Copies of this chain bind each other. A is one copy, B any other.
Amino acid sequence: MTIHTKIFKNPIKIVETSSIAGKLESNGPLSKYFDIKLEDNLYGEKSWESAEIKIINNNFKNILKKAKLKSKDIDYLIAGDLLNQNIASSFAVKDFNIPYFGIYGACSTFGEGLIIASMIISGGFARKILVGTSSHFCSAEKQFRFPLEFGSQRTPTSTWTVTGHGCAILSNKCEKKVPEIKSITTGKIIDMGINDANNMGAAMAPAALDTIITHLRDLNLSTDYYDLIITGDLGHVGQEILIKLALEKKIEFKNLNDCGILIFNRNKQDVQAGGSGCACSAVTFCSYLYKKIITSRFKKILLVPTGALMNTISIQQNQTIPAIAHAISVEFN
Is A84 a contact partner of B313 (Cβ separation < 8 A)?
A: yes
A2 to chain B, nearest CB (A): 6
Known pairs A94-B189, A98-B188, A122-B123; A313 contacts B49 (CB<8 A) = yes
Q: Does A50 contact B (CB under 8 A)?
A: yes
Q: Does A90 contact B (CB under 8 A)?
A: yes
A6 to chain B, nearest CB (A): 5
Question: What B residues does A84 contact at CB under 8 A?
Answer: 84-85, 311-313
Is B104 a contact partner of A86 (Cβ separation < 8 A)?
A: yes
Tell me the bound Cα distance from A109 to B113 in angstroms. 16
Tell me the bound Cα distance from A49 to B187 in angstroms. 24
Is B105 a contact partner of A112 (Cβ separation < 8 A)?
A: no
From B98, B104, B143, A104 is in contact (CB under 8 Å) with B104
Known pairs A87-B311, A120-B123, A186-B76; A317 contacts B100 (CB<8 A) = no
Given contacts A49-B314, A93-B189, A122-B125, 20 further A-B contacts (CB under 8 A): A2-B72, A4-B99, A47-B317, A49-B313, A80-B104, A83-B313, A84-B84, A84-B313, A86-B104, A90-B322, A91-B314, A94-B322, A100-B188, A101-B112, A102-B105, A103-B104, A104-B104, A116-B116, A116-B120, A123-B123
Is A102 a contact partner of B309 (Cβ separation < 8 A)?
A: yes
Question: What B residues does A314 contact at CB under 8 A?
Answer: 49, 87, 91
Nearest chain B residue, comparing its CB with the CB of A81 = B104
